Structure 1
Amino acid sequence: MAGSSGADGRPRSRLTGDRTSAISAGGYPFAILLMAVVCVSLYVIFKKRDWL
């Protein structure tokens, strides 16, 4: 059997059940926080170099 698809033809995932929803639920706030940290860091760096 070539590939890793389930009995219904859909691709199988290594993460199943509650773990997938827990990871995706925790991933969105982390991504927002990471973007905020990057934006603030760039703002501070640009301000110190007097580029803004």
Structure 2
Amino acid sequence: MREEQTPPASTPSPQPSSPAPVEHEHWQTGRLIVAVLTCLFIIGAAIAYEALG
């Protein structure tokens, strides 16, 4: 049987990607707000369709 080869312990593990820069946080907040409003609009439209249609 073949033994599985494990990398040596001295091999550095890949570093995780750095967090988003501060200047992009504003856009992320805006996108979150737009996504929430879109979901609420779809839910409201479905309720109105059930009630009126």
Q: How many percent identity over aligned positions?
A: 5
CA-based RMSD of the aligned residues comes to 2.2
Consecutive unaligned residues of structure 2, counting only runs of 5 or more, are: 1-15
Query: TM-score, normalising length from structure 2?
Result: 0.54
Structure with the larger RCO, 1 or 2 (CA within 8 Å, 6+ apart): 1
Q: Distance in 2 between matches of 1:27 and 1:14?
A: 16
Q: What is residue 18 of structure 2 aligned with on the other side?
A: 14
| Per-residue Cα deviation, 1:14-39 (whole angstroms, up to 9, x for no partner) | 13xxx511221211111111111111
Query: TM-score, normalising length from structure 1?
Result: 0.55
Consecutive unaligned residues of structure 1, counting only runs of 5 or more, are: 1-11
- Tell me which structure has the larger Cα radius of gyration: 2
